[in-house]
Amino acid sequence: MSEMREPRVLIIDDESAILDTLRILLKKRGFAPTTAQGGKVGLEALKASPPDIVLTDIRMPGVSGTDILEAARKLDPEMPVVLMTAQATLQSAMQAVNEGAFYYIQKPFSNDELVAILQRAAEQRSLKTENRELKREIRQRDRSRFIEPIGSSKGFLDVLNLARQVAPTESTVLILGESGTGKEVIARFIHELSQRSDGPFFSINCAALPESLLESELFGHVKGSFTGADRNKEGLFMAARGGTFFLDEIAETQPSTQVKLLRVLQEREALPVGGTEPVPVDVRIIAATNKDLDHEIRRGNFRSDLYYRLNVISLHLPPLRERPEDIPILAEAFLRRLAEQRGEPVKRLSADVLDAANVYPWPGNVRELENALEHAIVLSPRDEIELPALPERVRAPKPEQFVSDRPMTNPTLDAIERAYIMWVLQSEGGNKSRAAEVLGIDPSTLYRKLARYETENT
């Protein structure tokens, strides 16, 4: 093993002569053996000081070798257990292996045969330990790269507090918000505070892959299920077992994929592409979208039953223009991170830059802010970032023309309503909450109308 020269072997048998013989043999062959006479004493020794390998007789009065195997599996599922018996049958051997035994050896056996089996058990134990340590190191590196959610505005803190409340549960979470608002950051935040934090965090953008490839990636496929499927492939849902799966842009999935996602949520199982037998799924699902799912359901693009399964807990991330007090805090954090990545001193923002950042509506939200600051750092030779270093769209934004100077003849009532809504939104600097107050409508109504306008323009 990586940190152990002599694998520790616990030998359990009800005959003292056998214990002495095996102890002397294994000590000469490079093991560190301890002995326990009888199943009851062996069980106590196993729990008091768990070994690397257990070598136990199967037929003992009181506590049997099968009991020892069961206890070892509960204590450490990766602990190899080798069973010995003088009365072996093929059926009993198969049963022992199926129950988790590493090997089943029949007495009398040769010394070399036993040593070879224990050496293989030690090698397997060592490999599994090294693999576990490697996974732990990878998780630690991932966590060191994890970006903590940043902000002090009330709307953002409300979302963060709700995320903290839901994190320890197994509830499915739906995160709503415009592109670039940090939906994946919140999803990772929930994962890190959950009972699954030691498991993997998988993320996939449902809009980034063709539908056929997306299904194969999510659910896996069996050999021969389609052209190019030359082997069985495990899906990401199965690979993420014990962890969290983040489905970004879930509104972009097609009905066939939505049916399969519904099965995962309802039955906790997935059917590989081309397969006939479902595979158990042990993941927590967090989904996200920048679309109005109510509107997508009415248009027939999204299944209502899937929506209700996803929308157990919903978090609505406010856009950056509705949380201007967070801009200086975010900017400072981004400047520190970018300076660390470039191996340079941390630059500061001039007052003019901060003023411009507060005025600009940031349609790309937090992601656009980070990109703009990286652009500014590259173009800033001094320690202080000046206004000319910002992208032109940020330092000199052009007001969007919502209402035409040449109005149409006899506009429809819908066109007049749309023009007025867009004019109020522009007057309020793009702040949807304040615009909804001026218009005298619920913010959700405004979001639905804007989503419909966006759809009609595409």
Q: Which domains are delineated in the chain?
A: 8-135 (3.40.50.2300), 154-318 (3.40.50.300), 321-395 (1.10.8.60), 413-457 (1.10.10.60)
pLDDT digits (tens, 9 = 90+) for 26-64: 999 999 999 999 999 999 999 999 999 999 998 899 999
Task: Please name the residue ranges forming H helices in 299-412.
Answer: 304-310, 327-342, 351-359, 365-378, 392-395
- As a dihedral over the C-alpha atoms of residue 450, residue 455, residue 457, residue 458, rounded to 10 degrees, the angle is 150
For residue range 281-312, what is the model confidence (pLDDT) as tens digits? Answer: 899 999 999 998 998 999 999 999 999 999 99
Mean pLDDT of the 175-204 span: 93
Torsion of CA 291, 295, 299, 300, to 10 degrees: 80
pLDDT digits (tens, 9 = 90+) for 235-280: 888 888 899 999 999 999 999 899 999 999 999 998 888 777 888 8
Lowest pLDDT segment from 115-129, 300-314, 338-352, 397-411:
397-411
318 with 181: CB under 8 angstroms?
A: yes
On the question of pLDDT at 93 being above 70, the answer is no
Euclidean distance between CA atoms 121 and 82, whole angstroms: 8
Q: Are 375 and 390 in contact (CB under 8 A)?
A: yes
Do 162 and 318 form a contact (C-beta atoms < 8 A)?
no
- Which of 11-15, 18-22, 82-86 is predicted least confidently? 82-86
What's the mean pLDDT in 115-124?
Answer: 91
441 class by beta-carbon count within 10 Å (0-12 exposed, 13-18 middle, 19+ buried): middle
Long-range contacts of 21-24 (CB under 8 A, 24+ apart): 22/55, 22/114
The pLDDT, as a whole number, for residue 431 is 74
Query: What's the rounded mean pLDDT across residues 64-76?
Result: 89
Of all residues in the chain, what percent carry a pLDDT higher than 70? Answer: 87
Q: What is the pLDDT of residue 217?
A: 86
Encoded tokens for 251: 């509104």
**pLDDT: which is higher, 247 or 401:** 247
Q: What is the pLDDT of residue 138?
A: 55
| Amino acid in the structure at residue 147 | I
**CB distance 59 to 92 below 8 Å:** no
Predicted pLDDT at 33: 96
CA dihedral sign of residues 345, 350, 356, 357:
positive
Report, as an integer, the average pLDDT of 110-133: 85
Q: So what's the pLDDT on residue 88? A: 55
Q: Which residue did the predictor score with more confidence, 233 or 314? A: 314
- 141 or 218, which is more confident: 218
User: What's the pLDDT score for residue 244?
Assistant: 95
More confident residue, 327 or 435: 327
Give the position of tokens 């009398």: 108
The pLDDT value given to residue 193? 92
Residues 130-142, mean pLDDT to the nearest whole number: 61
Q: What predicted TM-score, i.e. pTM, was given to this entire model?
A: 0.61
Distance CA 428, CA 430 (A): 6
- Per-residue confidence (pLDDT) for residue 2, from 0 to 100: 41
Which of these ranges, 131-140, 189-198, 246-255, has the smallest mean pLDDT? 131-140
For residues 35 and 213, the model is more confident at 35
pLDDT band at 3 (very low <50, low <70, confident <90, very high): very low
CA-derived radius of gyration, the chain: 31
